[in-house]
Amino acid sequence: MRNFLCITLAVLTAAGQQQPSAPATSANITTFRSESSLVVVDVTVKDKTGKAVEDLKQSDFTLLEDGKQQKISVFEFQRLTMDPAPPEKPPTLEELNEVPTAPVKMITSEAPGQVQYHDKRLMVMFFDLGSMGIPEQLRAQEAALKYLDTQITSADMVAVIMYAASLQVLTDFTDNRTQLRDIIKGLPIGEMAEFAGVADTGDDDNEDTGAAFVADETEFNIFNTDRKLQAIQDAAKKLSALPEKKALIYFSSGLQKTGVENHAQLEATILMATKANVAIYPIDARGLIAAPPGGGAAVGSSRGTGIYSGSQHNSQRAGINNSHDTLVSLAADTGGKAFLDSNDLSLGLVQAQQEYRSYYVLGYYATNTTPDGKYRRISVKLNTAISAKLEHRDGYYADKVWGKFNAQDKEQKLMEALTAATPLTEIPLALEVDYFRVTPTSYFVPVSVKVPGSVLALAQKHGGGETQFDFLGQIQDDRKNVMGNVRDFIRIKLDSANVEKLAHRSINYDAGFTLAPGRYRMKFLVRENQSGKMGTFDARFVIPDLAADSAMLKTSSVIWSSQREPVKAAVGAAEKADKKAIASNPLIVEGEKVVPSITKVFRRGQNLYVSFDVYDAAPLPGDLRTRKIAVSMSLFNQQGVKAFEAGPLQATDLAATRPNAVPVQLQIPLKGLPPGRYMCQLNVIDEIGRKFAFPRTTMMVQ
């Protein structure tokens, strides 16, 4: 224990927070304060039949942290009944004339670590409108109202959270059924429903929309799923102020996880839910899904012959299973259960009720007060001879007092974070990897990293006139050989004017590698050195081999951007590069750095900048230095109607530093374009060689 000269009052604090001690009765007496942290553990004890064991005492439990016994300082039993809630009394005349009390639109707690909901079952209805179509939204609303009318118990306290364009708390925990009904009936049915459909993957088994060429919209899927998982993580963070167990009922139409790309955010969401004592109970609002071989009447037939070979049906089933797998992972890893393939969604709410049995709240002051940020493993045992099953969280992460770390400790933490299997999400970041051919056998691979400027406000709170951001990255091939490393830093002044200016912008960093064609994995880490907060990003990417002949026109990655800035203002490799390196960098155009839009989200009034290279186009007869490339761009709305068209323009000149490459630059004003989701298609035609390419991407206009 560490002693500090101080006079304060002792109060209970939540895990990871500090506990001051009591004041002296006289101002002339000097006392010492003992600094500790209170860790709260919710323990469910069930017998062989699954029934809750409710007659245990504090002396019946032994609690260990990292194998060392801890003294139990807080002990409370929460008895949760399944008795139906009493009938609602009709309102009196005076109550009818009263102005209804507005719901509290935030999750409140009387004091950190205090148990304020005694013998109450805390249930959160989370409506993910962005993942549900209108029929699913109506079905979820109906199930919630049925629960409030016929299935709520006297122990239930309900909060309502909605995710549409952003996360919104519609009401704090309450047992006021009239207020809850009004909130559920007032859900904006139809909002965000257009984002419920899974984006096209370019497969022949997908719906035929009549378009001649189809893009792979996997990148949009990745971004969309990450936003939904982030919303669940944010909801769990809001609930972490309450030490009681919480059940989060997640209404959605499944979550399509795309390979390993969403895995980091999924793990971060599960980690936060576990830390906050939140069990997730996903409910698939689609109900029992019938998947006829040709698809339902709401979608068109497939493009290929999959309806006859069975591949379309297998693709449909695989997509449904994939969306279920993510829900099952959220449930299993947080202690909840997924409710799938049932048309009576209210049974999912009853399932959560029945799973939430009576439990014990145990609290202890950790004897290990080292602020090293390491994981502390918790185990709870019974001292009695009762044969019972105990359920509780496995552990927690200790506080990290960054200012007390020396340089060696900071460097060690950096290396540990880069190689850790668990992702770090204290600093949100996004990353994009692109490729441009620079020789017949090698490719320049620009890596663009984006960190929100709001991180600077957190750094300013920790004091100091400036902060430093550390950037670490490592690329491995498919045999785990290290093919490239980056280690860099930038310094930013934290004066009020600079922080306010940068808080509304992103911190953009870029680095570049030269790689051969192949499959690679990149792990990237960012650390802010005032607070010590870190964020990691794990990405897998493929560099194609464009050396072989192809019937299609060869192109580089397409850079979609809304921002250009002078090279001297750019952060990262471009800032330190010499003139030769600047001239060969395809992201530097006329002295300005093109900043890729990683999320493909643009605002009206911005310009859309499009940059890419065309390779091996046929030369103009009699002029080997001239090519004839026609480029136009079209934007299609959700109904497949062309909303905008630009071009065609001609690109004829070869790049001076990249062999047989024709650089293409487009600038498209988005002013006047209605907000929504669009398909952006480039039409690239080699008029001499009679080859073409039609790159596409999904974009959002706000």
Looking at residue 571, its pLDDT comes to 46
Sign of CA dihedral 528, 529, 530, 533: positive
Helices marked H in 211-365 = 218-239, 263-275, 306-309, 311-332, 346-355
Cα 253 to its chain centre, rounded Å, is: 17
Looking at residue 249, its pLDDT comes to 93
Looking at residue 32, its pLDDT comes to 33
Buried b (16+ CB within 10 A) or exposed e, 75-85: bbebebeeeee
Q: What is the homologous superfamily of the domain 120-337 according to CATH?
A: von Willebrand factor, type A domain (3.40.50.410)
d(CA 447, CA 427): 18
Looking at residue 302, its pLDDT comes to 54
d(CA 478, CA 486): 19
- DSSP annotation of 201: -
Topology adopted by domain 416-545: Immunoglobulin-like (2.60.40)
Span 3-80+360-399: which CATH code?
2.60.40
Regions of the chain with pLDDT less than 50: 1-35, 198-220, 259-260, 571-577
Q: Which CATH class is domain 549-702?
A: mainly beta
Q: Comparing C-alpha atoms, which of 212, 414, 376 is closest to residue 303?
A: 212
Q: Which helix or strand (DSSP H or E) is residue 668 part of?
A: strand 661-669
Span 374-403, pLDDT tens digits? 788 999 999 988 888 898 888 887 777 776
Looking at residue 9, its pLDDT comes to 26
Looking at residue 646, its pLDDT comes to 86
Task: Give the three-class secondary structure for 144.
Answer: helix
Domains 120-337 and 549-702 share a fold: no
Looking at residue 307, its pLDDT comes to 58
d(CA 623, CA 574): 34
Looking at residue 159, its pLDDT comes to 93
Looking at residue 124, its pLDDT comes to 93
Q: Determine phi and psi for 206, rounding to 5 degrees.
A: -75, 170
Task: Give the three-class secondary structure for 442.
Answer: strand
Task: Decide: residue 660, CB within 10 A, 0-12 exposed, 13-18 middle, 19+ buried.
Answer: middle
Domain borders along the chain are 3-80+360-399, 120-337, 416-545, 549-702
Contact between residue 676 and residue 698 where contact means Cβ atoms under 8 Å apart: no
d(CA 431, CA 509): 10
Q: Which helix or strand (DSSP H or E) is residue 575 part of?
A: helix 573-576
Amino acid at 279: A
* Residue tagged 């005694």 (tokens): 118
- DSSP annotation of 59: G
Span 116-156, pLDDT tens digits? 788 888 999 999 988 888 888 999 999 999 999 998 988 89
